[in-house]
Amino acid sequence: MTAEDLRDRVRAKETESLRSALGNTALAVPWAAAIVGLVVFAPEPLADAVPEVPLSTWRTLVLFPVVLCCFGLFERGWNGTRDWYDWQRAHSVRLAVDRRPEHAALLIPPLEDHLSALRAVRGHRQVMWRRARWVVIPVGLVVAIAIWGVQVEEPDGTMRDVPAAPYVVVLVLIAIAVVGAALPRWRRWQAGATAEKWSRDPAYAAALDRLAADPVDVRAADIPTLRVRFVRPSPAAYKVRTVSATRNVFGWPPEEIAYLRLFDNHARIRSFLRGAWREFGYVHILRGSGSVSPAEVAQARSGNAIRTLFATSPRTFRAALAACPTEPLPPGRRRLTGITNTAERVHDPAGSYPVRALLCHGSFWQSAVDMLLARVGFVVVDLSGYLPANTGTQFELQRVIDRFPLTGVVLLCDESADRTFLRAQIHYHWTRMAAGSPNAGVGERTVLVAITGAGRDADRALMAQLLERRRGRA
């Protein structure tokens, strides 16, 4: 049903774009004809009708309506071109879906608003260039002063040269300040790019096989019906306590939570860190290269310790987990570093547990996901900003379906998410459930997709619902 909904959407988009493109093209023809008529045919008849006005004057006078017609032609031409482009995209998608209807969920893109949260936070490179481009203004003014100097007008109307040095000094200081503001982002960008290059270099990977050979397209014999339930957790007051080594904010033993998401969706991971999830237990996150600091890169380069920067095998992964702090953090405000691309300021009124952020080599991160799923009690998969091109998130979602009970899983999305699109993605991977999955069998299964952003109390309500689901009472 969800794939058919997406097919209906792309067919409707194709029809709508074609109708609009034809309409704008048809309206552009009269504007073009009006321009040609005014320029070529109008001046002579007007000059014959009013001989007192010379022909050259009539040719000048028709320029005003010609300009107005040009604006109309440009508007219709621009809209028509955009509509033809939209039709071509929808048409190509529709043809691809007709050829491979079983892959409709991976071929039809979501609505535009689906990516609004992802675009809200820019990476280091975009921020650096946005700040650095303001250097052009003071530098340009310095060049102008060097060429023309600085002059002021006297009361008698004469121009007098004034010393340009103070102006140059101020402009140079402004340029230095702008460069100084962009420099930290540049260093972070360079560190992330270096870590990404190392992560893809097989020279720094462990010479070990994967944890186990993956079955080749062996699907579960009995795949139950899946109900995708979108929920909006309502903020509710709960009796909370300060977290400790043995009791979380609800007074229960601390949980082990895996948080999986798009590596480049920094907006969502920051929102997740500001929420209440860290009050319930230890959150495990696989770090992206953008979270690597210049200090970590410098330390890895010193003494040729690049291999120790990444977890490259089960042994080094377990060692990295064992090195993570276990002592709960007291109530208060703090900065969380080494998790996302910048430090995140959070407020934990009841305290929290430290985040276990692990940096894995590109050759090992899939095995690291499997190891995490075998260790945790809850899995949170954040699908905010997800696209079919995000193959890493595809792998994680499929792995969760194949290896983790659905009662301990919650999916997240933001307010602007395309729910029809996400429902189709979830059903697509559900129908490819691997043999031996704990979710196989008969009956109906329900997966929760929580619409986040309502605050800490809503996160607590959602976690309480998950705990009840796992305990079999909901």
pLDDT 10s digits, 294-308: 888 888 888 777 878
Q: Tens of pLDDT along 104-122?
A: 888 888 887 787 766 665 5
Residue 443 CB-density burial (10 A; 0-12 exposed, 13-18 middle, 19+ buried): exposed
Average pLDDT rounded to a whole number, residues 230-241: 82
Instruction: Tell me the pLDDT band of 211, cut-offs 50, 70 and 90.
Output: very low
Secondary structure (DSSP) of 128-177 = HHHHHGGGHHHHHHHHHHHHH-EEEE-TTS-EEEE--HHHHHHHHHHHHH
Q: How far is CA 94 from the centre of its chain?
A: 26
Q: How far apart are CA 292 and CA 341, in angstroms?
A: 7
The pLDDT of residue 368 is above 90 = yes
Report the amino acid identity of residue 223.
Answer: I
Instruction: Tell me the pLDDT band of 405, cut-offs 50, 70 and 90.
Output: very high
Instruction: Tell me the pLDDT band of 474, cut-offs 50, 70 and 90.
Output: very low
Residue 181 CB-density burial (10 A; 0-12 exposed, 13-18 middle, 19+ buried): middle
Residue 260: per-residue pLDDT: 94
Using CA atoms, how far residue 10 sits from 79, 100, 186, 297, 388, in Å, is 20, 14, 41, 46, 16
Angle between helices 2-36 and 63-99 (to 10 degrees): 160
Average pLDDT rounded to a whole number, residues 173-195: 81
| Of residues 381 and 72, more confidently modeled | 381
Residue 188: per-residue pLDDT: 79
Residue 155: per-residue pLDDT: 72
Structural domain boundaries in the chain: 2-108, 126-204, 225-470
Secondary structure (DSSP) of 59-106 = HHHTHHHHHHHHHHHHHHHHHHHHHHHHHHHHHHHHHHHHH-GGGHHH
| Of residues 180 and 147, more confidently modeled | 180
| Of residues 143 and 257, more confidently modeled | 257
Residue 389: per-residue pLDDT: 85
The pLDDT of residue 35 is above 50 = yes
Q: How many residues does the chain have?
A: 474
The pLDDT of residue 460 is above 80 = yes
Q: Kind and range of the H or E element at 344?
A: strand 344-348
Q: How far apart are CA 54 and CA 43, in angstroms?
A: 10
Residue 331: per-residue pLDDT: 94
Report phi then psi at 129, rounded to 5.
-70, -35
> Is residue 280 within 8 Å of 463, Cβ to Cβ?
yes
pTM for the predicted model, two decimal places: 0.78
The residue with tokens 């979108």 is 230
Q: How far apart are CA 440 and CA 430, in angstroms?
A: 10
Q: How far apart are CA 356 and CA 309, in angstroms?
A: 15
Q: How far apart are CA 276 and CA 324, in angstroms?
A: 20
Q: Tens of pLDDT along 145-178?
A: 777 666 666 676 666 676 777 777 877 888 888 8
